[in-house]
């Protein structure tokens, strides 16, 4: 299966002149990034843009959840947590310390890419296919990101209240 072929076919089905607004456009890019994920539990993609103001809408970075470069991928047996889930030993959210996941989350991966290239995250805008977890919420705040757009929910009320407490705008992108 060729992802490129599938995307091309989808694009050819959409009539000319049909365009998403900027929020949906960048969220679509985040979903494209999620296709690189090797996580056995959830595909997540993220895109960081400098602004949504006219003439300043530039993608600064993309990220997806997966193991650090050079490490075995989750789906190839690199994740003790995914293996334990497959065997029915744990459920999502259980035994986080006993069965850790060492993968980078998409949001963190996108921020790390910017850091490696010396690009500031200050006042940027993050698009994530899934609502950020608590650890990513802390990184988002520390990075100076001011707005987070998400498409799919995630059951982490602590992360939501954390982002709100620090004045980070959280916006759900509707389909």
Say yes or no: 126 and 157 in one domain.
Answer: yes
What digits encode the pLDDT tens for the residues 6-32? 989 999 999 998 888 999 999 999 999
Number of domains in the chain: 2
Whether 62 and 75 share a structural domain: no
39 annotated binding-site participant: no
pLDDT of 156 over the 80 cut: no
Q: Where are the beta strands (DSSP E) in 15-124?
A: 45-49, 59-64
Pair (76, 97) in one structural domain: yes
105 is in an annotated binding site: yes
Q: Are the CB atoms for 142 and 44 separated by under 8 Å?
A: no
Closest by Cα among 126, 150, 130 to 139: 126
Output the six-digit token pair for 110: 């996108």
CB atoms within 10 A of CB 15: 5
Q: Lowest-pLDDT range, 37-46, 65-74, 127-136, 157-166? A: 65-74
172 is in an annotated binding site: no
Clarify whether residues 120 and 59 are in a common domain. yes
Asked, for residue 142, whether it belongs to a domain, the answer is yes
Helix (H, G, I), strand (E, B) or coil at 102: coil
Q: Is 164 a catalytic residue?
A: no
Q: What is the pLDDT of residues 50-97, one digit of tens each?
A: 988 888 899 999 999 998 888 888 888 778 888 888 888 988 778 778
**Same domain, yes or no, for 131 and 58?**
yes
DSSP state of 122: T
32-35, Cβ contacts within 8 angstroms, sequence gap of 24 or more? 32/7, 33/62, 33/63, 33/64, 33/106, 34/64, 34/65, 34/106, 34/129, 35/3, 35/64
Same domain, 47 and 129: yes
Q: Which of 13, 107, 138, 152 is catalytic?
A: 107
CB 62 within 8 A of CB 46: yes
Do residues 118 and 167 both lie within one domain? Answer: yes
Specify whether the backbone of 134 is left (phi greater than 0), alpha (psi in -120 to 50) or beta.
alpha
Domain that holds residue 109: 19-66+103-174
pTM, two decimal places: 0.90
Residue 9 in domain: no
Together in a domain, 34 and 88: no
Q: What CATH number is attached to the domain comprising 160? A: 3.40.140.10
Q: Are residues 109 and 88 in the same domain?
A: no
- Residues 30 and 47 sit within 8 Å (Cβ to Cβ): yes
Give bridge partners of residue 59 from the DSSP assignment. 49
């Amino acid at each position: 299966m060729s992802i490129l072929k599938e995307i091309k076919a989808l694009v050819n089905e959409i009539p000319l002149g049909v365009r998403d607004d900027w929020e949906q456009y960048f969220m679509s890019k985040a979903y494209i990034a999620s296709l690189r994920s090797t996580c056995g539990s959830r595909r997540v993609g993220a895109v960081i843009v400098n602004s949504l103001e006219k003439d300043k809408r530039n993608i600064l970075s993309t990220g997806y959840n997966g193991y650090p470069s050079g490490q075995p991928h989750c789906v190839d047996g690199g994740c003790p947590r995914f293996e334990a889930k497959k065997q029915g030993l744990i459920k999502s959210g259980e035994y986080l310390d006993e069965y850790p996941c060492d993968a980078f989350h998409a949001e963190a991966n996108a921020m790390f890419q910017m850091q490696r290239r010396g690009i500031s995250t200050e006042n940027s805008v993050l698009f994530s296919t899934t609502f950020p977890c608590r650890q990513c919420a802390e990184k988002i705040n520390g990075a100076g990101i001011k707005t987070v757009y998400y498409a799919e929910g995630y059951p982490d009320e602590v992360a939501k209240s954390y982002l709100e407490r620090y004045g980070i705008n959280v916006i759900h992108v509707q389909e």
